[in-house]
Chains A and B, each alone.
Chain A
Amino acid sequence: GESVGLHLPTLSVQEGDNSIINCAYSNSASDYFIWYKQESGKGPQFIIDIRSNMDKRQGQRVTVLLNKTVKHLSLQIAATQPGDSAVYFCAENSGGGADGLTFGKGTHLIIQP
């Protein structure tokens, strides 16, 4: 069925550089998207969300971009720090039917010193 996916399973960046994590979704009915960070052995931690009537939203050191034309979502992390090392998931809520989230497989962000 339709699901959210990610382009890269692993992304390695230098400490201090900006990180960009990408996500492609296929359900055009999705109207709400969320990025979660998951550290080893822990539950997903909410980072930032965006509704389909927006194309950009900024938080503290993070920015989410939504391109509905190509069904693409990205998470930008500025000045990446060692504590940013984790698996990042994008998730979508298509609204109709299931009220739960559909998650992609995740991108493991590795920070090089």
Chain B
Amino acid sequence: DTGVSQDPRHKITKRGQNVTFRCDPISEHNRLYWYRQTLGQGPEFLTYFQNEAQLEKSRLLSDRFSAERPKGSFSTLEIQRTEQGDSAMYLCASSFGQGDGNTIYFGEGSWLTVV
């Protein structure tokens, strides 16, 4: 399967713990995006990278969230000191070139439950 890959698919953690999600984009795609989706809502944009550079961060991305894409390939999204409100599905997506007119493909998501 050469689509966007996310790991782990599911994570249950206790409040206050740190979690990290990994995303492997489609291999030739230079843009990588992170979104968050809660039940009954559409995905919300968090941040995106062009190659290894993080070009934009949504105000939804609090100081407890950090994303990296060190070599311009895979990316990690870390959430520190998790809160119950962080429970959501975290979606990774990738595209080649700009999102405008270049299809953004999503992974299957990483479900986070904070208890």
Task: Label chain B's interface by main secondary structure.
Answer: loop
Q: Given A42-B108, A43-B107, A100 and B42 touching (CB < 8 A)? A: no
Q: Chain B residues with Cβ under 8 A from A102's Cβ?
A: 45
B66 within 8 Å of A (CB atoms): no
Q: Which of A43, A49, A51, A101 has the most CB of B within 10 A?
A: A43
Inter-chain contact B108/A105, CB cutoff 8 Å: no
The B27-41 residues at the A interface (CB cut-off 8 A) are 31, 33, 35, 40-41
The A32-60 residues at the B interface (CB cut-off 8 A) are 32, 34, 36, 42-46, 49, 51
Inter-chain contact A32/B58, CB cutoff 8 Å: no
Interface size on B, residues (CB 8 A): 27
Inter-chain contact A89/B105, CB cutoff 8 Å: no
Q: Chain B residues with Cβ under 8 A from A51's Cβ?
A: 101
Q: Chain A residues with Cβ under 8 A from B91's Cβ?
A: 43-44
B104 within 8 Å of A (CB atoms): yes
Contact of A49 among B42, B103, B106 (CB under 8 A): B103
> What string of 1s and 0s marks CB contacts (under 8 Å) between B76-115 and chain A?
0000000000000001010000111101111111000000
The B42-85 residues at the A interface (CB cut-off 8 A) are 42-45, 48, 55-56, 58
